[in-house]
Amino acid sequence: MFNLTFKALGLDCSYLPFEVPPEELQATVEEAKALGIAGFNVTMPHKVAIIPLLDKISNEAYQIGSVNTVVRSSTGFEGHNTDGEGALRALRASGFEPRNRKILVLGAGGAARAIVHKLSSEAESIVVLNRSEEKSSIVAGINRGVAKTYSAKLSKTELEKNIGNTDLIVNATPLGTIEMLNDFKIPLANIRDNEWVFDLAYGHSSVQHGPRLRVNALEMLLQQAGLSYQLWFESPAPLDLMRSILTDQNGGDWR
């Protein structure tokens, strides 16, 4: 998406993937600086570990505790997080408004942290369920606003209690919600017709059966990438162009 965008706009830039082993992270950041790299994205498993290796962290990335975008500035490398705002924009672009709504978050990793941080200033309540109960309570504690939060271990009982009693399910695990409900032997019909489902992991949202109201992972990919672009170039992202490029790469529109 970025390379075709740069080409279409005549920008002399390239976006390259680097697979970085955890023990090489510090050396990689130093080499990126020495090479004059203008900015980069950070993904699993480095979003937390990179924080002490950067020269500055935005308030939002600091509060979330994870960085997904790094920008070169006159003072060095600055860390930002566009996952929370990207998720919020994806929800709104899909027709879901989080204000005063009940939200169920499955998972308690970096993406869940960013989403709870962002949505807690608007939602009525947020329930966080995770395999490791300790992590779910830490993520529920990232609440910065009006939302009432509750956390528990991910279990059949908690899923049955909360699915069907929420306005939006945000699945921030690598599993799709349909797959997760199947694993727990919970009927899909427990999800009400007016309940939204947002599977963050790619590939699950294209499932044809199941919930009617869906937010696609690619919408969040686009929105958080647009925010990264804005940080790197200090100008609004060409979102329509990026959407068209991603649609072509995906083989069709996801909306």
Which of 82, 130, 149, 162 lies at the binding interface for ligand NAP (CB under 6 A)? 130
Q: Are 75 and 95 in contact (CB under 8 A)?
A: no
Based on the shown chain and the rule CB under 6 A, indicate whether residue 245 belongs to the binding site for ligand NAP: no
Residue 197 CB, nearest distance to ligand NAP (Å)?
14
Based on the shown chain and the rule CB under 6 A, indicate whether residue 172 belongs to the binding site for ligand NAP: yes
Angle ∠(66,162,104) on CA atoms, nearest 5? 25
Burial class (CB in 10 A: 0-12, 13-18, 19+), 184: middle
* Closer residue to ligand NAP (CB): 57 or 128: 128
Based on the shown chain and the rule CB under 6 A, indicate whether residue 174 belongs to the binding site for ligand NAP: yes
User: Among 94-102, 103-111, 161-169, 245-253, which window interacts with ligand NAP (CB under 6 A)?
Assistant: 103-111
Residue 133 CB, nearest distance to ligand NAP (Å)?
9
**66/187 Cα distance (integer angstroms):** 35
DSSP letter assigned to residue 23: G
Q: Residue 175: what are its φ and ψ, rounded to 5°?
A: -90, 155
Based on the shown chain and the rule CB under 6 A, indicate whether residue 221 belongs to the binding site for ligand NAP: yes
In one letter, which amino acid is 122? E
Can you give the C-alpha Rg of the chain in angstroms? 19
Based on the shown chain and the rule CB under 6 A, indicate whether residue 226 belongs to the binding site for ligand NAP: no
Beta carbons within 8 Å of 185's beta carbon, 6+ residues apart: 156
Positions in 4-43 near ligand NAP (CB under 6 A):
none
Which of 112, 152, 227, 245 lies at the binding interface for ligand NAP (CB under 6 A)? 112
Of 47, 102, 118, 135, the active-site residue reads: 47
Q: Are 223 and 89 in contact (CB under 8 A)?
A: yes
Q: Are 81 and 66 in contact (CB under 8 A)?
A: yes
Residue 10 CB, nearest distance to ligand NAP (Å)?
27
State yes or no: is 47 an active-site residue: yes
Beta bridge partners of 199: 171
Based on the shown chain and the rule CB under 6 A, indicate whether residue 142 belongs to the binding site for ligand NAP: no
* Closer residue to ligand NAP (CB): 124 or 133: 133
Helix H or strand E segment including 69: strand 69-73
Residues tagged active-site:
47
**Interface with ligand NAP by CB under 6 A: which residues?**
44, 83, 107-112, 130-132, 135, 154, 172-175, 200-201, 217, 220-221, 224
